[in-house]
Amino acid sequence: MRSTIMFFRKYPPEYTVIAVFIAIGLVLQLTALSNSGFFSDEFLHIEAGRHPAWGYSDFPPMIAAFAWIQNLFNTDSVFINHLFNLAASAMAVLFCGLTTIKLGGKWLAVLATLLCILLSPGIAGTRFLFLPTAFDQLFWIICIYCSASYCQSQNARYLIWFCIFGALGFLTKYSIVFLFAGMLTSSLIFRRDIFLKKSLWIGLLIFLVLITPNLCWQIKNQFPAITHFSQLYDSQLNRLSMGGELKKLFLFSNPFTMIFWLPGLFAIPFISKFKRYKLISFALCCSFVFLFCAKGKWYYFFPVVIGAIPLGTVFFERLLQKRKWIIYAYLTVLGLTGVYLLPQGIPIIKLQRFIELYHKKPNKDGKIPLAFDNYYSTEIWTRILNVVNKTYIELPSEEQEKCFILGRHYSMAGAMNLLGKKYGLPQAFSLHSSFEWMPEFDKGAVIIAIGESNWLEQHWGEYFKYVKEIGIVENKYASKESEYNYRIFLCKGLKYNSVEFKRFIEN
């Protein structure tokens, strides 16, 4: 008891708030992990860890490095395959709190910041999944912390740290270039003296050294990242309604957090009391505008929002210094709203309880659509694996030796490789997205193929002389018609060997 009292006397209350919220965040994440399986995109990144490289066509190499470390445990445990998410989430909470303190915030501003971060269903959801977005948010807030530290102390070493963590962010998700563009614009307008600092150029040299292997990989492979961005823009981003994306941003970031991050973006740059931090606030404002002009999806804006929240909370803590009851009342409403919305982002309650609590009703096709059906509904992959395993063990031994599994979507191949090890299933492959690896085989290969509802026998008939549908697995929580069922086929008499087959698919 005495040691506890000494702790609270020794450390300011701001740090106690941070420690408490780190603990709460970890409890929420662990609870969600106990209720969930894997989101489809996670399988791609976990599989990338089995094929280490300095780059991939759809994403930078950092996520694969994390997956490689997690894969050393050789397990399909949801907990183990999210170890880096747990660490990144805790560190994100830590640096959000530290950034608030650096900006001059006291315990109430820290409390408001971390409530906004923790009770935003969208931010919580993107941090929960083993995707680059979780680590992208972390490196953004660390870079913003370095910027705040530099603005406060003028210590040039923070410029070097900004460049180092900026490089790690670049190797995680290329969208951090919007932060760089915002910082460059803000520096050219308000702090041109930064470009005379030797530390900045040392930092930029370190940045270049760190990203060079990835740049060399891009050059060697004819810049697949640019090709991917171009295809993504033509197929998705160009068709987005930015009004609709902003509406989703406001909703999934918790509408009651807007009171903090909107002023943090668009008001703080013009308030004289925050002149010292104008570099940061205007940089985030520019980053937001650049993302909007580039037609970024709603969740692309979360790193900007996370960076702007501390500015807004510090502003209101100072503005309402003599009327703190207003902040208390508002945070109570924000907290209650966040508790209600949070299960929409991460599965902190059991599936059936979620369906009952949020009155999820079957649609005209008898499905109960869930936004993240393939991690809330954990049994779907087990049922697919049972069909695949039954088919495989019934094959003659000579056919088992030359059997492979083909997933129409990368999630199917990744799921078979991760979850199918306990069944002793053969190697799975796909030619979808970055999942371009394919084993070598000849025309005598036997393929167990998995596809969505709309992939019928005639699709596989283009590649095989013999195709038989051996199972249909229903997904009763699908939100898209193409995912209502998963169809499984046994295919023989391949018309091409592996090299010809890959070339045929690619063309």
3-class DSSP string for 367-432: CCCCCCHHHHCCHHHHHHHHHHHHHHHCCCHHHHCCEEEEECCHHHHHHHHHHCHHHCCCCEECCC
Verify that 31 and 133 share a domain, yes or no. yes
For residue 373, name the pLDDT band (cuts at 50, 70, 90).
low
Residue 7 lies in a domain: no
Which residue type sits at 30?
A: L
Q: Is residue 216 part of a domain?
A: yes
Confidence of residue 499 (pLDDT cuts 50, 70, 90): confident
Same domain, 152 and 294: yes
What's the rounded mean pLDDT across residues 385-406? 94
Looking at the DSSP assignment, which residues form a beta bridge with residue 469? 489
Helix segments in 221-277, DSSP class H:
224-235, 242-252, 258-266
pLDDT score of 430 = 87
For residue 350, being part of any structural domain is answered with: no
pLDDT(466) > 70:
yes
Asked, for residue 429, whether it belongs to a domain, the answer is yes
What confidence score (pLDDT) does residue 5 get? 53
Same-domain pairing of 81 and 190? yes
Same domain as 384, residue 241: no
Answer yes or no: is 234 within a domain.
yes
Within this chain, do residues 377 and 454 fall inside the same structural domain, yes or no? yes
Q: Give the residue-averaged pLDDT of 121-142.
A: 95
Place 505 in a pLDDT band, splitting at 50, 70 and 90: low
Which of 328, 344, 360 is where one domain is finished?
A: 344
What is the CA angle 90-96-102, rounded to 5? 135
Q: Is residue 238 part of a domain?
A: yes
Identify the domain containing residue 19 by its residue range.
12-220+227-344
pLDDT for res 307 = 96
pLDDT at 416: 94
Predicted TM-score (pTM) of this structure: 0.93
Domains held by the chain: number = 2
Residue 480 domain flag? yes
**Is 6 a member of any domain?**
no
391 and 292, same structural domain?
no
Q: Report d(CA 110, CA 107) in Å as an integer.
A: 5
Q: Are residues 215 and 259 in the same domain?
A: yes
pLDDT over 80 (residue 371) = no
Give the pLDDT score at 347.
92
Give the tokens for residue 271: 């308030």
Task: Give the span between the Cα atoms of 100 and 312, in whole angstroms.
Answer: 9
Q: Do 144 and 292 fall within a single domain?
A: yes
Arithmetic mean of pLDDT over the chain: 91
Model confidence pLDDT, tens digit, residues 232-268: 888 888 888 899 999 999 999 999 999 999 999 988 8
The pLDDT tens digits of the residues spanning 161-218 come to 999 999 999 999 999 999 999 999 999 999 999 999 999 999 999 999 999 999 999 9
The verdict on 398 and 333 lying in the same domain is no
What was the pLDDT predicted at 372? 66
> Among 9-13, 196-200, 482-486, which stretch is predicted with the lowest mean pLDDT?
9-13
